[in-house]
Structure 1
Amino acid sequence: MRAAALAFALASAGTAGADPAVPEPQGYHGEPYLSPVPDTLSGATVMDAAAAARAQAEGAVLIDVLPQVRRPEGLPAGTLFRMPRHDTIPGAVWLPGVGYEALSAQDSARFSAALERISGGKVDFPLVFFCKPDCWMSWNAAKRAVEWGYRRVGWFPGGTDAWAATEGSLTPATPLD
């Protein structure tokens, strides 16, 4: 775990996908979720793919927060709909839909309970949040974790695209219950 602290300390703040012209908002960011993100997140360590890989190798849990695609409402009965596959970083946990600007009480409780399980109730357990490049979902989720008292929060704004480009392949994901 000591090594994971070093990975957090050495993480690069100059991460692809981050935009120094975008100020860090006071609260959470809503629509559009796919838009330029800031290069900072107060209380969290901003990481590039190599730093996220080091943190994971040293015990951090990587958390993918990309929302899950749902069957579109209003499709006529009998219409074939195939749920698209979601690929993520090998070994990552997929917590879909916890990065919105506002969470329902149910989603907030689900997110909080999942972090409790993942961290074993330890607020100093290293957690790294990601999504896609220029996606505010991971920024919002990491910000929530910081506000809930987690002290070793990482934010990997390059997400799965940066991982695939520099660290290797992705793997099919299953949402965490």
Structure 2
Amino acid sequence: MIALLLPAPALAQDALFDAEGYRIAHYRAPVHSAPPGVGRIAPQAAAQLRPGRDALFIDVLPAEGGHRESDGRWRLAMPHKSIPGAHWFPEAGRGELAPGIGDWFMQGIARLTGGRRDRMLILFCRSDCWMGWNAAKRLRAQGYDNVWWLAEGVEGWTDLKRPLSRARPEGGVAP
């Protein structure tokens, strides 16, 4: 009976991150700095770039309510809006990736960059979200050296009165 009166223990800090430093729980929380080796880009600076020409904008927000079919196609529960010209890789920002997502993400990035690891990549999801951070860290760990994190995500974009457009999962298929 006494145990019921004691406060529940707080989630241990270690339970938020895996051994490699990826956030694996409570993704919607303040993020104070970019991952090591990754730059942080302000929304105003990102808005000056032309997606697909000056930089590749990579959205890693999950497919809310959606799922991936056994053949790799995404079934979406609702439309997803993103920065115009961005490439959407649902679920690629999680700390622990579902089977096939990591390979699909890395192959997609390699295809989009033409194998150039110096291509400017801007990763994002939402403000106060660790998924863009995780994905930026993951690309940096794979040798991409011009990786930027848009911490304010789509909210930072819309705060500038910039439009969003409907996005579809990159390639439509994840192996």
The TM tier, using the shorter chain, reads: 0.7 to 0.9
Cα distance in 1 for partners of 2:163, 2:105 equals: 27
Shift of 1:104: 3.4
Cα distance in 2 for partners of 1:71, 1:126 equals: 29
Cα distance in 2 for partners of 1:168, 1:36 equals: 23
What are the residue-to-residue correspondences of 1:134-149 with 2, within 5 Å?
134-149=128-143
Deviations 1:100-152 (A, max 9, x none): 11113411110110110111000001100000000000000000000000000
What are the residue-to-residue correspondences of 1:95-134 with 2, within 5 Å?
95-134=89-128
Instruction: Give the match for residue 90 of structure 1.
Output: 84
Cα distance in 1 for partners of 2:103, 2:96 equals: 13
Shift of 1:55: 3.6
Q: Which runs of 4+ in 1 moved over 3 A?
A: 55-58
Q: Say if 2:65 and 2:78, in contact at 8 Å, map to a contact too.
A: no
Unaligned stretches of 5+ residues in structure 2: 1-16, 68-75
Shift of 1:39: 2.2
Unaligned stretches of 5+ residues in structure 1: 1-24, 73-81
Shift of 1:167: 4.8
- My pick for the range that moved more, 127-136 or 62-71, is 62-71
User: 1:167–1:128: structure 2 CA closer, same or farther, 3 Å change rule?
Assistant: farther
Deviations 1:156-177 (A, max 9, x none): 0101011011151111111112
Deviations 1:23-46 (A, max 9, x none): xx7610121000111223211110
Q: For the aligned residues, what is the CA RMSD?
A: 1.9
Instruction: Give the match for residue 55 of structure 2.
Output: 60
User: 1:156–1:110: structure 2 CA closer, same or farther, 3 Å change rule?
Assistant: same
- My pick for the range that moved more, 37-46 or 107-116, is 37-46
User: Aligned letter for 1:133?
Assistant: S
Cα distance in 1 for partners of 2:66, 2:149 equals: 30
Aligned residue-pair number: 144
Q: Percent identity?
A: 35
User: 1:71–1:118: structure 2 CA closer, same or farther, 3 Å change rule?
Assistant: closer
Instruction: Give the match for residue 12 of structure 1.
Output: none
Shift of 1:54: 2.6
Cα distance in 2 for partners of 1:141, 1:85 equals: 22
Instruction: Give the match for residue 69 of structure 1.
Output: 64
